[in-house]
Amino acid sequence: MKRALKDFFRTLCLSLGFILALGLSLGLSGLIIAAITVPALAQKKYDTGVTDTEIKIGNIMPYSGPASAYGIIGKTMSAYFRMINDNGGINGRKINFISYDDAYSPPKTVEQARKLVESDEVFLIFAPLGTASNAAIQKYMNIMKVPQLFVATGASRWGDPEHFPWTIGWQPNYRAEARIYATYILQHYPNAKIGVLYQNDDFGKDYILGLKDVLRDKYDAMVVASISYEISVPTVDSQVVAIKTANPDIFVNIGTPKFAAQAIKKVAELGWHPVHIMTNVSASVGAVLRPAGLDNSKGILSAGYQMDVTDPQWDSYPGMQRYRAFMAKYYPEADRSESGPLTGYNLSTALVYVLKRCGDNLTRANVMKIVADMDFEIDTYIPGIRIKTSPTDFYPIEQVQMERFTGEKWQLFGPIIDGHSEISN
């Protein structure tokens, strides 16, 4: 009897042990399956230039050469990303910002782009500056399928997602800006004679096309002088003299900062007083108008979309207060009257917006998907200016407002205008 009971309990224990072992086995299997499944569901997607702790961003800027006034934009972006990193980065990842000088020389731009993509292995190239410079790398960036993001030039060629899906601009395009000037001329000076100074590259030629879009068959009759300059020339004094000789009522100054300032100064020296319209890229009080002479600059017309850093009307705006606090802490040595730092700050704000929206899906294709679906405002742009894109519209900013320089600051006037629509008017 005792032996039978002992055998019974032995069998029972073995059975319970088997059931327990089986249960543990199944439980562990479940845990193993769960361990495999959960990360698969939340898997991070990275392309070259991204890790759990870093996002490598490339940039090309003319820190030297004829457009070196723009170098302050790159320096501000570097300071901005230091601020971002000091505050924990983007979704826990620090920005590794690598910025190279191309001296505003397209062959050098190509060299630097290849270095950033192939040697530094950046995730994307952000805000490279210059029309000819970016044109030189546009095909390469698209062949390599590396985003050429928020190109810092308003040439209309950056909004062509059908042929260049990896390239997108940022600011209002030059052709649309010129349409606004031409519309203004027709409204206020319909019988005026016009003289045009322009840079002989895609930058300058885009403005000419915009004027022609609106003036149409009146262009040849109204434009009595149209003289170009090469970026290699030391000054544009002789070009301005030649334009004045044609005796136009309106002078359209399509120059980058160095040359725009020279033209303003020469117009004053000649005692010439035309209606003076100047491209927005040279509207910086510190970099252009002050060197040219504030008195000489009085009355100049342009079109703006960004708050004027010298204008006290924006002092109470939270966005401007944050910008000034950032500059005081991270770039205190910068000239506070220059508009370049605010340009760099705003571009960087936009990049952070895009990268945050990417979350853990930090692939180059996802970046382009995000930038093709933007709809937001930046609080250091003129109120009412909105950043908006779609898969078929790669022009993030298409609105500007006319402005006049008072001798101290830019004064906005008239409505916010959509330059893209002016061609149909």
The CATH number of residue 91's host domain is 3.40.50.2300
SS3 category, 210: helix
Q: Does residue 189 sit in the same domain as residue 294? A: yes
Q: Quote the DSSP letter at residue 172.
A: P
Q: What is the pLDDT along the chain (425 residues), one digit of tens a residue?
A: 445 545 544 554 445 444 444 444 444 444 433 444 444 445 789 999 999 999 999 999 999 999 999 999 999 999 999 999 999 999 999 999 999 999 999 999 999 999 999 999 999 999 999 999 999 999 999 999 999 999 999 888 999 999 999 999 999 999 989 999 999 999 999 999 999 999 999 899 999 999 999 999 999 999 999 999 999 999 999 999 999 999 999 999 999 999 999 999 999 999 999 999 999 999 999 999 999 999 999 999 999 999 999 899 999 999 999 999 999 999 999 998 899 999 999 999 999 999 999 999 999 999 999 999 999 999 999 999 999 999 999 999 989 999 999 999 999 999 998 866 544 44
CA 77, 83, 86, 88 torsion: positive or negative?
A: negative
**For residue 33, what pLDDT is reported?**
39
Return the number of other C-beta atoms located less than 10 Å from residue 213's C-beta: 19
Q: Does residue 221 sit in the same domain as residue 275? A: yes
**For residue 23, what pLDDT is reported?**
45
H or E segment to which residue 76 belongs = helix 71-86
Q: Does residue 159 sit in the same domain as residue 191? A: no
Is 412 part of any domain? Answer: yes
- Per the CB < 8 A criterion, the answer to whether 301 and 411 are in contact is no
**For residue 31, what pLDDT is reported?**
40
Is 30 part of any domain? Answer: no
Residue (of 73, 80, 134) closest to 102 by Cα position: 134
Provide the token pair at 27.
């439980």
Provide the token pair at 168.
């997108």
Q: Does residue 70 sit in the same domain as residue 167? A: yes
**For residue 320, what pLDDT is reported?**
97
Angle between helices 340-358 and 364-371 (to 10 degrees): 110
> How far is 211 from 154, CA to CA, in rounded Å?
15
SS3 category, 12: helix
Is 42 part of any domain? Answer: no
For the chain, what is the domain count?
2
Q: Does residue 340 sit in the same domain as residue 242? A: no
Q: Write the DSSP string, 324-385.
A: HHHHHHH-TTS-TT-SHHHHHHHHHHHHHHHHHHHTTEE-HHHHHHHHTS-EE--TTBPTT-
H or E segment to which residue 415 belongs = strand 410-418
Q: Does residue 127 sit in the same domain as residue 219? A: no
Is 36 part of any domain? Answer: no
Per-residue CA distances from 298 to 278, 294, 399 (Å): 12, 6, 24
Is 10 part of any domain? Answer: no
> How far is 237 from 214, CA to CA, in rounded Å?
29
Residue (of 340, 348, 330) closest to 55 by Cα position: 348
Is 100 part of any domain? Answer: yes
> How far is 156 from 200, CA to CA, in rounded Å?
16
Greatest Cα-to-Cα distance within the chain, rounded to the nearest angstrom: 130
Q: Does residue 110 sit in the same domain as residue 198? A: no
Q: Does residue 148 sit in the same domain as residue 241? A: no
**For residue 43, what pLDDT is reported?**
77
Q: Does residue 145 sit in the same domain as residue 180? A: no
Is 379 part of any domain? Answer: yes
**For residue 355, what pLDDT is reported?**
98
**For residue 364, what pLDDT is reported?**
98
Single-letter amino acid code for the residue at 85: N
- Name residue 361's beta-bridge partners: 45
- Expressed as residue numbers, the domain containing 339 is 54-172+314-394
Q: Does residue 205 sit in the same domain as residue 294? A: yes
**For residue 203, what pLDDT is reported?**
92
Is 8 part of any domain? Answer: no
Q: Does residue 260 sit in the same domain as residue 407? A: yes
- Name residue 307's beta-bridge partners: none
**For residue 156, what pLDDT is reported?**
86
Q: Does residue 248 sit in the same domain as residue 357? A: no
